Structure 1
Amino acid sequence: MAYFQNTLFQYCDFDDNSFIDSPRTTSLVVEDGLDSDLEDDLDSIKPKTDTSAAEVRNGKDIQGIQWERLKFSRDKYREIRLKQYKNYESLALPHERIEKECKEVDKGNSFYDFQFNTRLVRSTIVHFQLRNLLAATSKHDVYLMQNYSVMHWSSLRRRCKEVLNVAKPIVTRIKYPAPFAQTFSRIQISTVAVKDNLIAVGGFRGELICKNLNQSGVAFCAKITTDENAITNSIDMCQSPEGSMRIITANNDAQIRVFDANNFACLSHFMFPWSVNNTSVSPDGRLLAVLGDSSECLLADAKSGKVVSNLRGHLDYSFSSAWHPDGRIVATGNQDTTCRLWDLRNLSESLAVLKGRIGAIRAIKFSSDGRFLAMAEAADFVHVFDTWSDYATCQEIDLFGEIAGISFSPDTEALFVGVADRTYGSLLEFNRRHYNHYLDCMF
């Protein structure tokens, strides 16, 4: 498996490194998290690691980067990163055509305001292409992967707690017959999904781990494939048309598997011609977007796995997708640095092409009300598009570091961004801006 990383500040020389937190200091929560509950009192390091909205209004960087101690200003370093950041490509195809297709977008908007940034929790990326490592279940509750743990961050209490540890041997709460009756430990987490008090975690060797958040112990842990290159690339949790909860896994063995979320029985599996990197189910549970090591994206029948449509237009491999809540639009994110929007009423060509700044589109999320589409690049940029403007207006969130995942809160009031970096890895929180249109009319 290839290793590819653009390290923050790799192009910079420092006047003084003394301001940078030591790995031990910034990784205190990470390292101690392997064997202990992390709801410790960390107030002593909060002033160094946290950044509030009030501090930002007074001139502090949202990530706490002390630019005054560097040889380069923030603007200068942004210029350097834009020129020198290396986007990973699997298919070296010319991109000239993409530029002509991309939609012109006004990026000077602000839909979500910066609220808080903490370096007490940070996502750990173990595969440079997989960035679904964060999920919000409310505007106050976020779950993210950190080393061999899944952490819960409370934005109300500003505290973190370990909810799942996969470094130690995992014992399931329910006894399963072979081949599921195995003991696992030190699982490398590749993807995380949370829904309805159930957390599902994928592993580098094809593992699937499920835990009920309101119950102790692990409910299910198994290696769901025997293939040597079997990494679980993504997990989607959804309701079937009949109303039951399903867990859908996409694996490098070119298969999709559907599990019952109640008893974890494997209900079906579908084979595809290439490694499957991502799946997402339409809101009505009938269609499955299938993306992988191909420039084509597929739509398949969620019950039979039969391909019903091919989506052609991307130039590289795809790793992210999302459905608009109305079920008519599906978005696909690709290593060619674009997100394409597809209208089910006409799939012969994409409805629109949205362009990133420097890297692959690794994560895509629609807000639950359908108003916004968040698109995260591999690093440095998250774009929030207003769907009501036909995706023509956008807020560009500019930060530094590899992005581990993004998530809207279910009520759309918060947007969370996970940043993975040795020093500045963190969790950023943005709150939705509300306009008083009545007052606007008055003035």
Structure 2
Amino acid sequence: MAQFYNDDLEYIVGDYYDSSDFEDDSFDNEPQLDNDVDALDSDFEDDFEPRKSKTDTTALEARNGKDIQGIPWERLNFTRDKYRETRLNQYKNYESLSLSHGDLDKECLDVDKGKSFYDFQFNTRLVKSTIVHFQLRHLLWATSKHDVYLMQNYSVMHWSSLLRRGKEILNVAKPIVTTPKRPTLLSQPPISRVQISSMAVKGNLMVAGGFQGELICKYVNHPGVAFCSKVSTDENAITNAVDVYHGHNGSLRVMTANNDSQVRVFDTENFACVGRFTFDWSVNNASVSPDGNLLAVLGDSSECLIADANSGKVTGSLKGHLDYSFASAWHPNGQILATGNQDTTCRLWDIRNLSQSIAVLKGRMGAIRALKFTSDGRFLAMAEPADFIHIFDAQSGYAQGQEIDLFGEIAGISFSPESEALFVGVADRTYGSLLEFNIRHHNRYLDSFF
């Protein structure tokens, strides 16, 4: 992972995206997120209808011609199509390795991108994602089609898509101290001003990794913090990725992937470190197979590794990518692994035969920074650093896809657990927002309801 020092938390413009073209004085007075939760509550109770900012966009408004992000193209000096053409021509993808991409296009699957699996439902600017490191884009998670968690500056925010309001559930600017629940939990010194670089939520457990090697674990429906500590004192110990998973014996575990070349495993009983695996390069991403037995390890190497999740012993290697990898996702059947790389491709691997990838999926203009399968395994979502999310239909052999075209840095993507909704976090000074897409059905009752 690129050496990157961020002395103060602020919006990091990823892979050379400039939003200055969208700056407009008329937007200076637009409403920002109201951090007064009581005010949000009272508005909802008084009106007896979901709160909607004038900057938000509904599915009905989009069908009537409004831009889903609220960008007023009619007031700008260029059309949307012209700006898209300019972006595609001028965008510069970040590369760590200078390897030839000459034959890459020949490997890529020819995908019909004209499908519509998920329809736009709602876009809100009441909450908006922020990014700490331009290569790390796992900062948004949905635990239901109504509950989304995202990073906004020094706050972990919860967004209710049902009530359409946001609420801060954790402030990491203030000193954070573990709230002991069991006598066995070791006391940890407080940490503060944590710049959260990675995040995961499973069930009731939210886990966040920090820019200085911090790990924070919080049960979202309990006050306080269950665990917080620096897992590494290395000078460059960014927590690049975190994962929450069930081990092979059913126990709930937390895994961190750090820039100090180590993967660490913690139990959730007392948050003791029960495993520590060291690799030859910085680990940018690590994910565990659905059965808890296999570990995918990706990092500052064109090669990806498969290891035993319990011992850390490497059992296989994945060769084919041309640059560093930052994203991985397991199909729910545990047989297919997707890896995302800065060479602008996602490779799909059959874990039963690692000699070569079974398919190569290509983005439009940038690295593949985030990957997610639906819980039923039907769809794979793939996010570039900016502007494009791709949805592939696994039932078609990934040969049919949908391309979601927007403008802005993508902080994270997440399907809801029942696969009904897809959420996208956009980080932008003016048009930062949270977008919701719903799986296409034969009727539009929900649209008329809202």
Q: Please give the alpha-carbon distance, in whole angstroms, between the structure 1 residues aligned to 2:65 and 2:311.
A: 55
Q: Give, as a single letter, the amino acid of the residue that structure 2 aligns with 1:92.
A: S
User: Which residue is equivalent to 2:262?
Assistant: 255
Equivalent in 314, 320, 341 of residue 327 of structure 2 = 320
Equivalent in 136, 139, 142 of residue 136 of structure 1 = 142
- 1:134-173, CA deviations, whole angstroms, 9 ceiling, x for partnerless residues? 0000000000011001000000000100011101111211
Q: 1:173 to 1:228 in 2, by over 3 A?
A: same
TM-superposed deviation, 1:47: 3.8
Q: Give, as a single letter, the amino acid of the residue that structure 2 aligns with 1:124.
A: T
The alignment of Structure 1 onto Structure 2 pairs a total of residues equal to 427
Q: Please give the alpha-carbon distance, in whole angstroms, between the structure 2 residues aligned to 1:13 and 1:178.
A: 50
TM-superposed deviation, 1:28: 4.0
User: Which residue is equivalent to 2:446?
Assistant: none
Q: Retained in 1: the 8 A contact 2:177–2:188?
A: no
Q: Retained in 2: the 8 A contact 1:38–1:161?
A: no
Q: Please give the alpha-carbon distance, in whole angstroms, between the structure 1 residues aligned to 2:239 and 2:31.
A: 29
User: Which residue is equivalent to 2:9?
Assistant: none
Q: 1:8 to 1:21 in 2, by over 3 A?
A: farther
TM-score (normalizing by structure 1)? 0.92
* 2:103 aligned counterpart, secondary structure: helix
User: Which residue is equivalent to 1:78?
Assistant: 84
The answer to whether the aligner puts 1:243 opposite 2:253 as a matched pair is no
TM-superposed deviation, 1:13: 8.1
Q: Retained in 2: the 8 A contact 1:26–1:423?
A: no
Q: Any residues of structure 2 matched to 1:270-289 within 5 Å, and which?
A: 270-289=277-296
Q: Retained in 1: the 8 A contact 2:53–2:126?
A: no
The answer to whether the aligner puts 1:7 opposite 2:7 as a matched pair is no
Q: Retained in 2: the 8 A contact 1:299–1:310?
A: yes
User: Which residue is equivalent to 1:297?
Assistant: 304
* 2:369 aligned counterpart, secondary structure: strand
Q: 1:419 to 1:370 in 2, by over 3 A?
A: same
Equivalent in 168, 176, 198 of residue 170 of structure 1 = 176
Q: Please give the alpha-carbon distance, in whole angstroms, between the structure 1 residues aligned to 2:102 and 2:187.
A: 49
CA RMSD of aligned residues (A): 2.1
User: Which residue is equivalent to 1:65?
Assistant: 71
Q: 1:210 to 1:57 in 2, by over 3 A?
A: same
Equivalent in 369, 372, 375 of residue 365 of structure 1 = 372
- 1:330-388, CA deviations, whole angstroms, 9 ceiling, x for partnerless residues? 00000000000001122111100000001010000000000000000000000000000
TM-superposed deviation, 1:174: 1.0
Q: Retained in 2: the 8 A contact 1:13–1:71?
A: no
Q: What stretches of structure 2 of length at least 5 have no aligned partner?
A: 5-11, 444-450
Q: Give, as a single letter, the amino acid of the residue that structure 2 aligns with 1:339.
A: C
* 1:49 aligned counterpart, secondary structure: coil
* 1:96 aligned counterpart, secondary structure: coil
Q: 1:40 to 1:129 in 2, by over 3 A?
A: farther
Q: Retained in 1: the 8 A contact 2:184–2:270?
A: no
Q: Please give the alpha-carbon distance, in whole angstroms, between the structure 1 residues aligned to 2:118 and 2:22.
A: 33
Q: Please give the alpha-carbon distance, in whole angstroms, between the structure 1 residues aligned to 2:126 and 2:56.
A: 8
Equivalent in 194, 199, 204 of residue 201 of structure 2 = 194
Q: Retained in 1: the 8 A contact 2:216–2:225?
A: yes
User: Which residue is equivalent to 2:111?
Assistant: 105
Q: Please give the alpha-carbon distance, in whole angstroms, between the structure 2 residues aligned to 1:224 and 1:233.
A: 12
Q: 1:213 to 1:37 in 2, by over 3 A?
A: farther
Q: Please give the alpha-carbon distance, in whole angstroms, between the structure 1 residues aligned to 2:105 and 2:244.
A: 35
Q: Give, as a single letter, the amino acid of the residue that structure 2 aligns with 1:215.
A: H
Q: Please give the alpha-carbon distance, in whole angstroms, between the structure 2 residues aligned to 1:384 and 1:326.
A: 19
Q: Give, as a single letter, the amino acid of the residue that structure 1 aligns with 2:217.
A: C
* 1:48 aligned counterpart, secondary structure: coil
* 1:361 aligned counterpart, secondary structure: coil
TM-score (normalizing by structure 2)? 0.91
Q: Please give the alpha-carbon distance, in whole angstroms, between the structure 2 residues aligned to 1:41 and 1:417.
A: 28
Q: Retained in 1: the 8 A contact 2:19–2:429?
A: no
Q: 1:266 to 1:37 in 2, by over 3 A?
A: farther
User: Which residue is equivalent to 2:436?
Assistant: 429
User: Which residue is equivalent to 1:269?
Assistant: 276
